[in-house]
Amino acid sequence: MILDNELERIRQDFPILEKDMGGKPIVYLDSACMSLKPKQVVQAMNEYYEKYPACAGRSMHKLSKMVTDKVADARKTVARFLGAGEPEEVVFTRNATEAINLVSYALDFKKDDVVLTSDREHNSNLLPWQLLSKRVGVKHRVIPSKENMEFDLEKFKEMMREKVKLVSIVHTSNLDGYTLPAGEIIKIAHERGSLVMLDGAQSAPHKQVDVRKLDADFFAFSGHKMLGPSGTGALYAKYDLLERMNPFMVGGDTVQNSTYESHVLLKPPEKFEAGLQNYAGCIGFGEAARYLDRIGRDRVEKHEIDLNKVISERLLQIKGMSIIGPEQPKLRGGIISFNIKGLDHHDVAIMLDEKDIMVRSGQHCVHSWFNAHKMPGCVRASLYLYNTKEEAEKFVDAVAEISKLR
């Protein structure tokens, strides 16, 4: 776990936490949407703009070489962060959304191929398959959860009797923080000849991930949820798959050579990284991965669960309170999604903001789940390594006070 004296040092790396709003410090509980950025990440990005603001890989001068080396170092760092075999298995993207879309366009799908997703997918891992169904004729199937909101392995096995091309499934849900049994899902899928992609936008920042131990074929995640800059992310893919896939976007930096009639593509990952890249973002992304590795994501996960236990135990004492997801806090990681009977979720979020407590309200890009459950939305508090027990208590005190307005 993260000890109090270490937590105090960590918080000093996030200048926004030192500020106040009208004389009160902020309590930031919206990290599942966007994490805060430590000053080390900002400094790494500023260094690019101030000391070597040039193109990578295109020119022979010293500044260009510095950028090339820094981006290569960031790729190595992100590869280690995931447990990837080689840096070349990491493709830089703008976010997890682009990474998932890349696979939907670049993998060789044919009419009547089957893609399975869960019933709690973010729109980023739902819409690409709906569009692919219209574009190519792929069959998209949705795996229903158990009544207790846990993943139904037996139903999954039953649905895998159909010849499935790809299982594209969320690793940790942004709806309720539940982590699906990825290892078992991948084993079952591989035994039946299917590839597996994990949407790791909510898992990579909060728990130790080793893509080789999991044997994931694809893993998509975003920088902005793991202390990194916005507009950054990555797709991990086994190298042999990257070699077989065709890019869906091409242009500068993707080819070795071209004529008026033909071209020769570069090897992965470059053939998927068309055009001028977000060099500062890639460098900041790598710095964010280093920052988290120094602390240890196993410790981050334990810290969040400890805070979730404090919050959940007290929230459930409030009359009219309902928490979305599995009952046990340890199964919901750092996310607490809830509603108070008789109060609108947006109103609750606004009233919390008036107390300088920042949460998210709405359907959290999981509209499909909320519509299926005939629920207009919920309030979501999401924790991270910089949150404290005092903040957790302040949050629950505020919710308890708001609940009296029913």
Query: What amino acid positions are annotated as catalytic residues?
Result: 365
In whole angstroms, how far apart are CA 14 and each of 43, 225, 231, 386? Answer: 12, 15, 20, 8
Distance CA 94, CA 99 (A): 8
Length reported for the chain: 406
Give burial (CB, 10 Å; 0-12/13-18/19+) of 141: middle
Which residues are within 8 A (CB) of 71 and not within 5 positions of it... i.e. 6 or more apart? 56, 277, 279, 282, 283
CA-derived radius of gyration, the chain? 22
DSSP 77-144: HHHHHHT-S-GGGEEEESSHHHHHHHHHHHS---TT-EEEEETT--GGGTHHHHHHHHHH-PEEEEEP
Residue 193 CA to its chain's centroid (Å): 26
Side-chain-side CA neighbours of 340 within 13 Å: the count stands at 25
